[in-house]
Chain A
C-alpha cells in the first residue's frame, strides 16, 4: 500500500516538473536543412518557416504527416518559397523534394509548444494520480479510525 502511494506521489511530482520543463526547453531554437527527401522527428508540435532556394526550373515540395496519413503542405513552383507551416503534433514527418536541379530547403522553428492533446494527457494523468492518492489516504484513515 505504501509502495502504491510512493508511485502515485512520484507520478504527480514528475507531471508537475514536466509541465515546467517543457515550457523552458521548447524555447530553444530549432533549424535544419534538407537537400533530398528525408524524414525528421520533432518532440513537440511547432510552427516552422519553410524556406527554399531553387537553382531554377520547376520543383515540387511536400510535407507528409504519417500520423494523420495526409499531406500537410504541397507546392509546385519555380520560385523560392517562404512560408510558415504548422506541424500539428509531435512525432515523425517526411519532406519530399521532387526536382531535376538541386533544391536547398531550410526549416526554421518559429514557435514550439506542447499540443492540446499532450496538455490534456498531462493534466489528466496528474489529476487521476492525485485523486487516487487522496482516495487511498482517506480509506486508510477510515480503517484506522475503526480499529
Chain B
C-alpha cells in the first residue's frame, strides 16, 4: 500500500495535473486577495479592540470558495481522480495492477488517498503562499490573525472539507463510468450542478455560509472549528463517507472493465 501510494504520488500525469491546479489556484487566489478590500467597524474604539477587530477583518478578507476558485478545484479534482482510478483501466495497465495479490478495495482506497493528497496540496500551498505574498509586510497582524484568532486551523479545515467532497464524488463517478471521457464529463457536471441550481445544502454554498457563521460567532477557536464542521457535517463528511463506501463496494463487485 505504501509503495503504491508512493508510486501514485510520483506519477507523471498526476503531477502534471497537480501543477496545473496549483498554479491556476495560486494566481486566482492572488487576484482575489489584491482586488479585495473590506471595511470593518470597531465598537468601542479602544486600542485593544481595534487590534482584535483588525485581525478578524484581515482573516475574513482571505479568499474562500468563490465561483472561479470552485471551478478550478472541481476540474483539478475530477482530472486527478479520473486519471488515478480510470485512466489505468483504459490503457490496460490496470490488468497488471489489479491482478496483484492485494484486495481490490485496498488498491482503490490508496488511489483515493493519493488523489486526495494531491488535490489538497494543490489548494493549501498556493493559499498560504499568496497570503504571505499579499500581507507579508504586516507580519504581526498576519501571525495574530492566523494563529491568535485561529484562522489557520479554520481555513485548513475549510479546504480539507471542500477537497473531501470533490474527490469522493468524482471517485464514485470515475469508478462507475465506462471510460475516461465519461468520467471527466460526469464528474464536472455533477460537481458543478449545485452551483447552477443554487442548492444551498451542498458545497460550495454550504461551506461558505458555514465558515462565515462560525467565524462571526463568539467563542474560542476550538468552538469555531467545531461549529464549522458541525454546519457542514452532512454534505462534507457524511455524504463523502457514504460515497467512499460505495466506491469501495463497486470496486469489489465490478472487476477491471
Chain A interface residues (CB < 8 Å from chain B): 1-3, 6-7, 9-11, 13-15, 17-18, 21-22, 25-26, 28, 30, 32, 37-45, 64, 66-67, 69, 89-94, 96, 115-118, 121-122, 125
Q: Which residues of B contact A67 (CB under 8 A)?
A: 138, 140-141
A91 to B142, CA, bound (A): 8
* A39 neighbours in B (Cβ, 8 Å): 39-42, 50, 53-54, 57
**Is there contact, CB below 8 Å, between B41 and A38?**
yes
A3 B34 Cβ-Cβ under 8 A = no
Contacting pair A17 B27 (CB below 8 A): yes
B121 on the A face (CB < 8 A)? yes
* B-side contacts of A91, CB under 8 Å: 54, 58, 135, 137-138, 141-142
The A-B contact count (CB < 8 A) is 152
Q: Can you list 25 A-B pairs with a CB-CB distance of less than 8 A?
A: A3-B10, A3-B15, A10-B23, A11-B129, A14-B27, A18-B133, A22-B133, A25-B35, A37-B41, A37-B45, A41-B36, A41-B54, A41-B61, A43-B33, A43-B61, A44-B34, A66-B50, A67-B138, A89-B138, A91-B138, A91-B141, A96-B45, A117-B136, A118-B133, A121-B136
**Given the interface contacts A18-B130, A21-B27, A91-B138, does A43 sit within 8 Å of B40 by beta carbon?**
no
Main SS at interface, chain B = helix
B136 touches A25 (CB 8 A): no
Q: With CB as the reference atom, state the residue of chain A lying closest to B121.
A: A7
Residues from chain A with a CB closer than 8 A to the CB of B57 are 39, 41, 92
Q: Which residues of B contact A7 (CB under 8 A)?
A: 22, 121, 125
Which single member of A22, A38, A122 contacts B34 (CB below 8 Å)?
A22
Closest residue on chain B to residue A91 by CB atoms: B138
Shortest Cβ distance from B52 into A: residue: A66
